Amino acid sequence: MLIVGGGAAGWLTASYLASHLGQERHGGPRITLLESPDIGIIGVGEGTFPTTRNILRTLGIEEAEFMRESQAAFKQGIRFDDWEVAPKNDVHSHYFHPFEAPYIGKDELDLLPYWLIQDPATRPPYAEAVTFQKRIADARLAPKRLFQGHYSGPLNYAYHFDAARFAGVLARRSKALGVHHLQGLLGEVVLDDTGAISHAISPDHGRLEADLYIDCTGFRSELLGKALNVPFRPVSDMLFADRAVVCQVPYPNPNAPLESYTIATAHEAGWTWDIGLANRRGIGYVHSSHHSSEARAEGVLAAYVARSGGKEEVEMRHIKFDAGYRTQHWVKNCVAVGLSAGFLEPLESTGMVLIEAAVNKIAEFFPHSGRIDASAGLFNDLMVKRYEAIITFIKLHYCLSKRDEPFWRDNAAPDSIPERLRMLLDIWQHRPPSRYDFVIDHETFAHFNYQYILYGMNFQTDYRLAGQALPMKDKAEQIFARIHSFGEQAAKDLSAHRATIKAIYDNGFVERAPSPAPALAR
């Protein structure tokens, strides 16, 4: 097979397929990756989802090595600032979307109904009531301890990393797994009489033939979009952001406190991400060109950087994108992965998640005999439904806002909300989200992710009548108290995020726990 394009999409595809389908010398397919040294990667996808841990583990990459080489730090969730209402008199609102699922305990008791019947004036925010992760993140503590080994820990977590360095880690692993690396340009893509790809021509390497061609050429979509002319389905009627202005901001000193969550702050025509790596912050303003000029966007970003402790003068670059996806991702002997298949927007780190989903399905559906496109129809159906489900989840963040700027009013307009989301919001006024509301194979986000967003934005579910019949109110109160107690203990047991990252970089994870090991209750 021939993978065209590097970056995270290309090298993750190469390493994953090489590890799951077998190396060439052991009877697996020959995998070649063609990468142009003259075409840079977009390089703003610096936040991930917890599924990335499973991918890296299966690739045989040690966590400490990956973190050191990628300048990675831990990510425990996302803090949303000013999304519900605009700040007034310097008073800001925020809520937290943790990676940790709500605690259910050995009784497997769903705590949400019991939280809903509590007094809104005195109850803690939902995410703080059902998990202690926000407390740990707010205290700038790491989600794990050094003796807990690779990819495991008491709290669910992902990473912030340098995207270019991460691609380098994957490239080295791919080559160790036998992937052939060609540096050069893609010239022409030649189709055969059936409309499939016959071969590609590189000015540097001549004719390149494969049974399966994987398009990782980014927004250009050289194979699927240009050569095979697969239509692009825009979703700009639902997701309005189509621009980003980005910058890198150094810390004022190398020992500055290190956040372990992405800070997503709403602004007049979009939102900023603020991602803390070990050596710098990556900040960007995602916005709508229909609601903001480039100059105004730069001003918003510069003001945020200055307000959050960075320099007033930072080097900025602009990125244009169209929110949407290809109507088919696998056509004949070509399949697209990453930006060449589609892009929605950076919110909730769905770019990496979609790459992971695609490569997992390519490996699962790979035809070791028979037609190369035997499973293309199923692959397309699953991937398109996954995009549609993510659109629903992303739109949820926007449409619940009570901000009054034109961008936010347009996002709350009913005709901009997907029909399925409108239906669910109507249902959720009378009962909370349930796992039965979703088809698991189509979803990236679980029902509790929806709960965190809904109730973080103070969505109202009228549960007064149903709440009268709840049978385990005393048990629920005990579990709420237990979660608070767990947080107290965890705050004592876990170490500072910055210090933990430095220790991982210097010495990796230790083989065994200190004696006696501090206990972190779950």
Catalytic residue ranges: 75
Please give the torsion angle defined by the CA atoms of residues 393, 399, 401 and 404, in that order, rounded to the nearest 10 degrees. Answer: 150
Buried b (16+ CB within 10 A) or exposed e, 116-138: beeeeeeeebbbbbbbbbbbbbb
Taking phi over 0 as left and psi of -120 to 50 as alpha, with beta for the rest, 167 belongs to: alpha
Residue from 333, 282, 296, 362 nearest 45 by CA = 282
| Inter-CA distances, 285 with 217, 256, 275, 499, Å | 24, 23, 12, 29
Instruction: For residue 3, list its beta bridge partners.
Output: 33, 214
94 Cβ contact partners less than 8 Å away, ≥ 6 residues apart: 79, 80, 81, 82
Residue with the two structure tokens 């939280």: 115
Distance CA 36, CA 200 (A): 14
Task: Decide: 4 and 200 in contact? Cβ < 8 Å.
Answer: yes
- The residue count of the chain comes to 522
Residue type at 519 in one-letter notation: A
Whether the CB-CB separation of 59 and 42 falls below 8 Å is answered with no
Closest to 137 (Cα-Cα) out of 87, 94, 99: 99
